[in-house]
């Protein structure tokens, strides 16, 4: 024979007449939870990542009913919908005990389940301790005060990063390096994005790139037009260095920095973004061959 265990939503209306308990979140301490054949609801302050337990029927609550073989060794029925901040527990056996583990915010919380005949906990609410609450700033951070000196400083430190990180690490404190080696193919030039540096204090990104002229003509390069695009957002350079011209097939290194936003607010851009690099180029008109100078030789008058 089979017996059918139904989803517990129909009995939730009886919870108000039973015990409601509150527990402080503490992954270092197991919590004893008294349950019965009635439903016990367990609530966390945020989404529960996973639940696990031995000899337990664990489902996601999608099925209308779950069939269990008569005489099965299952002790508890646990329902947890993916991404929900609560789960439901019901005892299947009298005098059953078991350990249920919940994963919440990367930590494991252990519940010692024990079946009782009367006075089970109908609702167990887990709350953060006072010290666990996020600290709010009294005021928002001040916007970055851009200056040419600061902008050139991040360029200098990015170029010298391999040396500074060994000899003067404080100079690159809070700097994140991402070696990308991504190629951007523009109509006239190929851009190799070699390294991207994130300067958190200055709210700056520094791009070290290599440009290669793909054409058979000399290119005019405008470093002041360097920009990085992510999706539909375009971030223009705050300071840039690079070649002004590139001969056919020639390559050269360039660098530019994006500091804050034009309105003075922070951009908080991650160096992990897959940036598309843009720069304006133009083909120099081919030079026309100049007329060769005419050499005139005067003969000495005959005597």
| Alpha-carbon gap, residue 271 to 207, rounded angstroms | 9
SS3 annotation, 104-117: ECCEEEEEEEEECC
Q: What sign does the CA torsion over 166, 168, 171, 174 have?
A: positive
Q: Euclidean distance between the first and final Cα of the chain, in Å?
A: 141
Residues spanned by CATH 2.60.40 within the chain? 2-129, 148-283
Nearest to residue 89, comparing CAs of 119, 51, 129? 51
Please give the class, per CATH, of domain 2-129.
mainly beta
Q: How many Å apart are CA 288 and CA 71, to the nearest integer?
A: 97
Q: Which DSSP string corresponds to 68-93? A: EETT----EEEE--TT-SEEEEEE-S
pLDDT in tens, the chain (303 residues): 444 444 444 444 444 446 888 998 888 888 999 999 899 999 998 888 889 888 898 888 776 555 655 556 889 999 998 888 899 999 998 889 999 999 887 788 999 999 998 889 999 999 876 655 444 445 455 566 778 888 899 999 999 999 998 888 888 888 989 988 889 999 999 999 999 999 988 889 999 999 999 999 999 999 999 999 988 889 999 999 999 999 999 999 999 999 988 888 888 888 888 889 999 999 987 765 554 454 444 444 544
Regarding the domain delimited by 148-283, which CATH topology (the fold level of the hierarchy) does it fall under?
Immunoglobulin-like (2.60.40)
């Amino acid at each position: 024979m089979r017996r059918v265990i139904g989803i517990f939503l129909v009995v939730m209306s009886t919870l108000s007449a039973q015990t409601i308990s509150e527990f402080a979140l503490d992954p270092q301490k197991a919590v004893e939870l008294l349950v019965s054949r009635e439903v016990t609801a367990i609530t966390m302050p945020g989404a529960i990542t996973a639940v696990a337990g031995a000899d337990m029927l664990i489902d996601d609550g999608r099925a209308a009913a779950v069939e269990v073989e008569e005489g099965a060794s299952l002790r508890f029925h646990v329902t947890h919908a993916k991404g929900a901040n609560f789960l439901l527990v019901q005892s299947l056996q009298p005098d059953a005990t078991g350990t249920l583990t919940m994963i919440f915010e990367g930590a494991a919380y252990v519940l010692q389940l024990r079946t009782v005949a009367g006075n089970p906990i109908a609702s167990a609410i887990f709350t953060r301790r006072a010290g666990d609450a996020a600290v709010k700033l009294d005021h928002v951070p001040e916007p970055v005060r851009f200056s040419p000196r600061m902008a050139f400083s991040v360029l200098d430190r990015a170029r010298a990063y391999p040396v500074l990180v060994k000899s003067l690490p404080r100079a690159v404190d809070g700097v994140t390096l991402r070696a990308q080696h991504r190629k951007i193919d523009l109509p006239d030039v190929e851009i190799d994005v070699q390294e991207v540096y994130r300067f958190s204090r200055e709210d700056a990104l520094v791009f070290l790139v290599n440009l290669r002229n793909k054409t058979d003509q000399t290119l005019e390069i405008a470093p002041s037009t360097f920009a990085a695009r992510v999706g539909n957002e375009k971030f223009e350079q705050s300071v840039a260095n690079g070649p002004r011209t590139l001969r056919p097939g020639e390559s050269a290194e360039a660098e530019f920095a994006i500091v804050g936003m034009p309105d003075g607010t922070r951009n908080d851009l991650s160096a992990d973004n897959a940036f598309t690099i843009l720069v304006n180029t133009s083909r120099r008109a081919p030079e026309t061959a100049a007329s060769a100078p005419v050499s005139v030789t005067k003969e000495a008058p005959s005597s």
